[in-house]
Amino acid sequence: MLSGALRALFLWLSNRRWMARVALATPLLRRMPLRFVAGTTLDSAVAAVRALNADGASATLDVLGESVSDRASAERAAAAYVATIERIAAEGLDANVSIKLTQMGLDLGVDACLEVLQPVVEAGDRHGIFVRIDMESSAYVDRTLEVVARLRDSGCDIGPVIQAYLHRSPDDVERLAADRVRTRICKGAYAEPPEVALQERGAIGDAFVALVERLLDADAYPGVATHDPDMIERVKDFARQRDIGSDRFEFQMLYGIRRDLQRQLLAEGYRLRVYVPYGTEWYPYFMRRLAERPANVLFVLRTIFGERG
């Protein structure tokens, strides 16, 4: 009950941008996002990726931002992604990029979004760097998958994220599996009503594993995005039973979360990709991380006070 109330609170706060100004003006609160965000600049993100690569992990870089309402802002965000891709290539980093389409002007229309996104996918194609299209709330699923399909039809190497808690996701994954589209599966981090999404943790976990299994059977190189040890073990067991090698999928985790589990997976010989967000628009992202697991609040506070001590 308390966990559910905290989740609802953090999701509500994620849309209250004035709280970001309060956080930035408060020294203690300003330190909290640094556990989950690799700084505000591309240089700081590159340093984080170098460290991950040195440990054997891959990365995906996310220039934080969303819900852009004008073309100029969307084009600035796209330019930041082109610069990120160029930097990945120049430094030979083991990394790709993840993009939210509302940051690329999806609210201005699918065609406008595709125009804004074109320089980014061209840069990805030029350097052989995969572009991941993140999934946002349920209202954006159809438009997001339309963008993915149209770009793939034009020959771009991109793939979407599918959220396991949505009732529609098995049908979406079935279509993606049929075309062996490289897809990330995550639980889902937005407040959705029962008629749209599963609400119970166990049911969401079962749905997550079932979607991953379908993509594994299709040899679609799924990204298994979870920090849940039980779900990770279930995926491992399925792969062993089907004689699916560890080179045919990868586990994916968020920067700063369950570093112990990240090290364990790498030691066991599994592929791991860490989602590395950076930029000044950290506030909504940070609040959704707290909503996913309210215990993260105490974890971050212990980390901060431990460092101060």
Q: What is the pLDDT of residue 308?
A: 39
The separation between CA 131 and the C-alpha centre of its own chain, rounded to angstroms, equals 12
112: left (phi over 0), alpha (psi -120 to 50) or beta: alpha
Residue at 225 is within a domain: yes
Nearest CA to 137 out of 111, 105, 102 is that of 102
Residue at 304 is within a domain: no
Residue at 63 is within a domain: yes
| Local confidence band at 36 (pLDDT 50, 70, 90 cut-offs) | confident
Q: Which regions of the chain does DSSP assign to beta strands (E)?
A: 58-63, 95-99, 131-133, 158-163, 184-186, 223-225, 250-254, 272-278
Higher pLDDT, 122 or 309: 122
pLDDT digits (tens, 9 = 90+) for 253-274: 999 888 999 999 999 999 999 9
Residues labelled catalytic? 134, 184
How far, in Å, CA of 98 to CA of 160, rounded? 9
Q: What is the pLDDT of residue 287?
A: 64
Question: SS3 breakdown of the chain: % helix, strand, coil, rounded to 5?
Answer: 60, 15, 30
Residue at 17 is within a domain: no
Provide the residue range defining the domain that includes 150. Answer: 38-281
pLDDT digits (tens, 9 = 90+) for 150-175: 999 999 999 999 999 999 999 999 99
- In this structure, are residues 88 and 129 in contact, taking their beta carbons and an 8 Å threshold? yes
Residue 266, both tokens: 């790498």
Q: What is the pLDDT of residue 269?
A: 97
Residue at 25 is within a domain: no
What residues form DSSP beta bridges with 131? 97, 158
- What is the number of domains present in the chain? 1
Q: Is the pLDDT of residue 73 over 50?
A: yes
Residue 285, both tokens: 């992202």
Contacts of 196 (CB under 8 A, 6+ apart): 138, 166, 167
Mean pLDDT calculated for residue range 4-15: 55
How far, in Å, CA of 253 to CA of 265, rounded? 11
Residue 240, both tokens: 């062993």
pLDDT digits (tens, 9 = 90+) for 126-146: 999 999 999 999 999 999 999
Mean pLDDT calculated for residue range 55-74: 92
Residue at 208 is within a domain: yes
Q: What is the pLDDT of residue 31?
A: 57
Mean pLDDT calculated for residue range 180-192: 93
pTM above 0.95, yes or no: no
Name the average pLDDT for the chain: 87
Q: Is the pLDDT of residue 212 over 50?
A: yes
Q: What is the pLDDT of residue 209?
A: 98
Residue at 157 is within a domain: yes
CATH of residue 145's domain is 3.20.20.220
How far, in Å, CA of 276 to CA of 279, rounded? 10
Residue at 92 is within a domain: yes
Q: Is the pLDDT of residue 307 over 50?
A: no
pLDDT digits (tens, 9 = 90+) for 49-62: 999 999 999 999 99
What residues form DSSP beta bridges with 252? 225, 273
